[in-house]
Amino acid sequence: MNTKIQKITTNLWFDQQAEEAAKFYTSIFKDSKMERITRYGAERHEINGISEGAVMTVEFELEGQRFVALNGGPQYQFTPAISFIVHCETQDEIDYYWDKLSEGGDEKAQVCGWLKDKYNISWQIIPVNLTQMVSDPNPDHSERVMKAMLQMKKMDIRALEQACEG
């Protein structure tokens, strides 16, 4: 098998939910797939009691981006210091990803297009033209967009565009 290795791959450290999370994410993103699953052997059981045959890693792909989910134990947790940005063309697309990814997540973490999913991973669900609007050369435009955005939980493309237009 001659599979091209992606130069940089995101590794997500889970306690024991790697396979469940990979299935969850691949069910949301249309261009996605589950790939290789590796399992722990007897040696890991001897080190920290993880069952032989338990899932160690799951390789999966979302929209052409490869990921590895690792069941490494409870010692590391996700923080909002790293998040995944989903660029959306339409409000329907924003609504879709927002609804799917926020299901079972932390509602208190929902602000300015950011959300935390049920695995505590942070996502930014934003319109593709947000960066253009907040960096508009006219400072009045960009300030209005920022003010509108800071009042939002989920991004509202039309409201942001109206704020930019004045």
Which pLDDT score is estimated for 51?
82
Which pLDDT score is estimated for 5?
77
Which pLDDT score is estimated for 46?
56
83-165, CATH topology level: 2,3-Dihydroxybiphenyl 1,2-Dioxygenase; domain 1 (3.10.180)
| 71 has pLDDT over 70 | yes
Of 103, 159, 83, the C-alpha closest to 127 is 159
Q: Where are the domains of the chain?
A: 10-71, 83-165
Which pLDDT score is estimated for 137?
93
**Confidence (pTM):** 0.90
- Give mean pLDDT, residues 84-94: 98
CATH 3.30.720.100, domain 10-71, yes or no: yes
- Distances from the Cα of 65 to the Cαs of 5, 32, 147, 165, in angstroms? 11, 9, 32, 35
pLDDT in tens, 2-58: 567 789 999 999 999 999 999 999 999 999 999 999 999 877 655 566 788 899 999
Angle at 161 between CA 160 and CA 162, to 5 degrees: 90
pLDDT confidence of 1, banded at 50, 70, 90? very low
